[in-house]
Each structure stands twice: as C-alpha cells, then as structure tokens.
Structure 1
Amino acid sequence: MSTTPIIQPGQIEPPSGEIPFIYIPPRDNVFRDRAGRLRQLAEGHVMKDFLLFMAKLSDAQHAALATFPRIPLPTEAEMKLCREHGMPPLSVQSWPRDIAWQAALKKIVADVMPAATPDTRKILLRLQEMDSIALESFATAILAGEFDEMDLGAAPFVAAALQIYWTHMATTLGAQAFGANDISNLCPVCTSPPVSSIIRIGGAENALRYLCCSVCNTQWHMVRVKCTNCESTKGISYYMIESSSGAVKAETCEECGTYLKIMYMDKDPLVDPVADDLATLALDLMMDESGKLRSGPNLFLISTSAIAA
C-alpha cells in the first residue's frame, strides 16, 4: 500500500465557465467498450472467470441497448423546469419506470445463460420465473439501495437491465438536456450515487475529475481533492496497491470515514469506471481493513457470489 501527496482544492481546475459540466458516453460504445476492457483486465487476473463473465454481461447490455424501443421521456417543459430548479429529470426514485426494462432483462438472461455456471443458471431461472410485480419491487429495492433482504445473486442482472433503461434515456436526450443538480455528489440525470470517479484527458475535459453514475453511465464534474460523499476538502488521502500502475486509487476522507475509487486516464487511457472497479477488489479489501466505508455502490458487487470471487 502507498499514499500519494495531494494538491490544494481547485489547483488544476480551469475557470468554472470553461468546464464541461456533464459527459454522457456514446450510446454505441459504453457497454461494448466496457466488455472489451473487462476481457483485457481478465488476462492473468486471479478473478479471470468472473471478469470474463461480466464481459459477457456487458455484451448482453450492449445488444439490449441497441434494440431498446421508444418509450415515454420528459417533455421539454418538464426538462426546462428541472434545469431551472436544479432537479434531475429522470430520478430513480420518482420517474415512472416503463415496463420496457423488463424486456431488456429477459434478453440479458437469455444471452448470458449459455456462459453461466450451473449455480448462476439457477439464479437466471429464478429471474425467468418472477412475475412483473415482483420484478418491479426488486428494481425499486435496488435503486433505493435496500440490499439486505433481496436475492443478492439475481440483483446484478436486474441492475444491468436498469442500467440499460436509464442509459437509453440519458443518451436519447443528450447532455444539453440536463443542468446542474442541487446535490453535487448525486447524478444530475437520475440522482444515483457514483460508482467511481475518473480524471479525464483531452480537450476541454483534460485533467478534470468527473463522477461516474452507477446507473445511467453519465459523468458529471466535481473539483478534485474534495470528498465525493461529504464534500469536505480536509483530510483527503489517496491509496493504491503497491505493485499497481497507479491508474486506480482509493480517495479517502477522514471527515466522514469513506472512500471512493478514482481513476486516471493519463496513467491508462482505457480505464473504465465499472470494469476497473471490479478488477481492483484488492483495493476495497485494503480499505475495509483500514475501517473506511465505500460511499458509492457498484451494482455488480452486491452479490455474495461476486464478493466471494
């Protein structure tokens, strides 16, 4: 384990008027590129089989997003009102979900079934047997972060379908549709917490830190050296695995006792906010041993089978 020195808040940020606030990854690339990154990370990894299966799941998400049907979206008047009042227009807590996400789940289950282990097939069969009402209740619990009493083995597949649904809406509306959120550490599109943050490279986004939504894949700007949970600028430290490239670190906060991973594209331009998080569970274990709590979820890691891997 090693720590790195920190800079002062805002030290390398350009003036606020020049900062691109929001970045929505290209619809055709987000899940396809994630699948490729997972396969790259799997080579020689102790969790190779798990990462390769997650690549299959990302492939299934890509296929489902490509054929996602037209669904109701906010009107322009609703979007304008949300921008004026700093309200995310597609809040996971209040937006009326269209049942189309369940069709995406069925497609995902069918696509990953051939690559699943016998135990995972049992989980997928349970999902196929659930009725629409049960699936909606499952989705509500995941989006509310109420993981205690749910079927943890099935949760990542339901989460994968919900990611498709919200990513479809975000990419259909485009970055220009959204404004800043009154709560800066929640997604300005859907109010979900971040899975990780990333330091981008190139163009107007160069060297800027973006939080990465755990549901809709939107990225939004937050200044560096600032806790992504309590927004304190005091007691911020960075930890990494000693033998790693430094492309993924844990940003910790002494004020609230939490951490979130931060990824550096200048160290590795292919880092992915979800894939590289899955591949660096050793860093999570290190933070757990230090007593720090993770502040944002990876919805593919709420499964006990994934944690055991």
Structure 2
Amino acid sequence: MQRILQPGDIEALDHTQPPRIRLPQPASLFAERAARLAQKAQGHPIGEYLQFLARLVRAQQQAAGTVQTAAPDPALIARAQQHSMPLLPAAEHIPTEWQGVLDQLLTTLKNEENLALAPVLSALAAMNFEARQALARRVLLGLLTEPGDLAAAPIAMAALQVVFADRASRLQERDIPYTDPATVCPVCASAPVASVQRIGARADGLRFLHCGTCATEWHMVRVKCSHCESTEGVRYQGLEGASGTDESVLAETCDQCHHYRKIAHQDKDPLAEPLADDLASLMLDLLMAETPYARASLNPLLPMAEAESAPAPSTATP
C-alpha cells in the first residue's frame, strides 16, 4: 500500500528544501542572547537595563539545563494539524514547571543584592501556586492589570520562556501545523517579537518570524507584512549615524494595516539576535512613534516597549 506524504513529510525528506520551521535550542539560545545583550549594553542609552537583562538571560541559561517538559499529546498534534491552528496556545497550556524555574531565577537575582529589585523579588517569592498561574496567564495575554504586574512581568516571562523553549525544542518539524493566519507562532500562538533574515546553510537569505515566548521561528517570505500578510505597501525605515542605533535593524512598515515590526539582518551583523536586537533598537521605536505606524507587538522582556511621543531624530531614512 502506498502512503501519501503530507507537506511536512516531503520537506523532511528533501534536505535541499528551505526549512519551514527553526526549533529553539535552549542550550545555545540563552547563551547567545545574553552575550548579545551584554554587547549591546555598552554605551547604550538604556545600557543598565540591558545589562540587567543579560544577567537575567544568563540565569535562564542555567535554569534551562534543569527543565524537562512533557511531550504533547499526539491527539493535540492531530487536532492542530486538522484545523490549521497553533499546536499549544501558551495561555491555555502553561506547564507547572515554570514555577520551579521562577524560583531559580529569584534565587539568582537575590544573590545580586539589587535593592531596587528586592520588593519585586519578595512579592514573586511570596505568591502561592494559584496566584503565580494567574500572573503567568496575564503576562502571556498581555493583560497587565494588577498592581505590580509591570515590574514582575519581565521576570515571570523569563521563567515562562525557559519552559516554553524547552517544550518546543522537543518537537519535530512534522508535528507543527501550517497555521492560518501565519502571523502567530505555530507552536504557542504568541505574536512574533521581530523577524530575522538568517545566514548559513539551508536558511541562508530567508526571513523567519521569531516567537517572543517559545523562540520558535517560522518562515515568511520577505516584503510581506508579518501582521496582516499584505504584500502591498510594505516599506522599510531605519536610522543612520545616531547613538544607540543599529543599521542592521529596520522597521518593516505596512500601508495596509499601518503597523510595523522590526527585522534584523544577519548578513549585516552575523551576531544579530531578534529579541535582543529589538530591545537594543529603542531609538528606532522613538522614530516610529512620530509616524502613522503602530508597533505590531511588544517585546516580552520590556512591557513598556511602546515608545512615548518624542521628537523624531532627523537621521531617519526610508
């Protein structure tokens, strides 16, 4: 009896095909991100915060080696593929392991004796199981409505990222559905924090959207809006020569939905890391605040990432 191959099976057999999915590798993901944040912090207007995040991400790297999440139920995989829906929407499938990771992060941060962080760390440590689960859901949904949520969100998200990246890393490309729309993560349904044009091997020259929660990347052709999927009115804006800017990071704008999302180019900077470079290009957000375009999604480690109105630098170039 002949077996009919599905699209994912065909791609898996052909090693010359461009990858549709790039699954996270937690062992290197957090190490590379921490190094990039530390590099970008030098002389940066928000250098102190980037240095703090570099320490936080290094703590994520240590915790990543202690986590082992369960494989998803095959029935969930089949259902997601049948209905072209994300495999495990984050806010509906929160592994309890994240709470142990949170405790590890809190211990590491407490050892730094950072007085400014002390109230936040104490509040997170004092939360019971149910309160932490509720916080995780609010963070994942972007509904930071409770007192203290904004301060706690980056640390809670850091713990969640570790377990979601671990779970995604245990999948196979054939497990991951083709989703409709293709503008959310096919694994955890989170919005992409940015996109990145990769270099090397089968991914060379291809643009991938990067999930801010589980770090899965999925291919999307260039000059296509990553928010509404329009191919019309897509343009790029950047900054030249201003302090704290990076010419390898551009804002991809769409005249159809009037949103923008950043794209990092590894061909211009091989060390570009989507989440870290998005944080480090704050000046570009300040420029975009003076345009008709709204940011499509926030950076999960900077809940206040939407820049407030400020005079646009005169160095903007389309």
Q: What TM-score results when the alignment is normalised by the length of structure 1?
A: 0.88
Match of 1:29 in 2: 28
Which of 96, 102, 116 matches 1:105?
Answer: 102
Runs of 5+ unmatched residues, structure 2:
1-15, 309-318
Change (3 A) 1:177 1:116: farther
Partner residue in 2 for 1:282: 283
Check the 8 A contact 1:153/1:303 in 2, yes or no. Answer: no
- State the secondary structure of the residue aligned to 1:228: coil
1:284-303 counterparts in 2 under 5 A? 284-303=285-304
1:60 and 2:59 correspond: yes
Question: Separation in 1 of the partners of 2:108 and 2:173?
Answer: 30
Q: Deviation of residue 289 (structure 1)? A: 1.7
2:90 aligns to what SS in structure 1?
A: coil
SS at match of 2:92: coil
Per the alignment, residue 17 of structure 2 pairs with: 18
Contact 1:167 1:215 in 2 (8 A): yes
What amino acid maps onto 1:282 in structure 2?
M
- Which whole-Å CA distance do the structure 1 matches of 2:246 and 2:129 have between them? 45
Give the aligned length. 288
Instruction: Decide whether the 8 Å contact of 2:26 with 2:162 is kept in 1.
Output: no
Deviation sequence 1:27-73 (CA, Å, 0-9, x none): 2100011001111111222222111110101011111111014x433
Q: Which residue of 2 aligns with 1:232?
A: 230
| Aligned residue number for residue 241 of structure 1 | 239
Which residue of structure 2 aligns with residue 94 of structure 1? 92
Specify the code of the residue in structure 2 equivalent to 1:98: P
Once residues 300 and 218 of structure 1 are traced to their aligned partners in structure 2, the CA distance between those partners, rounded to angstroms, is 17
What's the CA shift for 1:82? 2.3
Give, as a single letter, the amino acid of the residue that structure 2 aligns with 1:225: V
**C-alpha distance 214-116 of structure 1, shift in aligned 2 (>3 A):** farther
5+ residue gaps, structure 1? 1-16
Query: What is the RMSD computed on CA atoms of the aligned residues?
Result: 1.9
What's the offset of the Cα at 1:116?
5.8
Quick one: distance in 2 between partners of 1:273 and 1:78?
29
Check the 8 A contact 1:247/1:265 in 2, yes or no: yes
Instruction: Please give the alpha-carbon distance, in whole angstroms, between the structure 1 residues aligned to 2:230 and 2:236.
Output: 15
Partner of 2:182: 184
Q: Is the 8 A contact 2:246 2:281 kept in 1?
A: no
| CA distance in 2 between partners of 1:190 and 1:246 (Å) | 31
Amino acid of the residue matched to residue 246 of structure 1? E
SS of residue in 1 equivalent to 2:261: strand
Question: Structure 1 residue 158 and structure 2 residue 159: aligned?
Answer: no
Asked if the contact 1:27/1:168 (under 8 Å) is kept, the reply is yes
Q: Aligned partners of 2:74, 2:274: CA distance in 1, in Å?
A: 30
Shift of 1:149: 4.0
- Alpha-carbon deviations, 1:180-199, whole Å to 9, x = none? 21220000101100000000
Deviation at 1:115, TM superposition (A): 3.2
Letter in 2 for 1:252: T
Find the aligned partners of 2:70 and 2:24 in 1 and give their Cα distance.
21
Say if 2:198 and 2:265, in contact at 8 Å, map to a contact too: yes
CA distance in 1, matches of 2:22, 2:280: 24
> 1:145 maps to which residue?
142
Output aligned runs, 1:61-80, within 5 Å: 61-69=60-68, 71-80=69-78
Paired AA for residue 22 in structure 1: I
% identical equivalent positions = 39
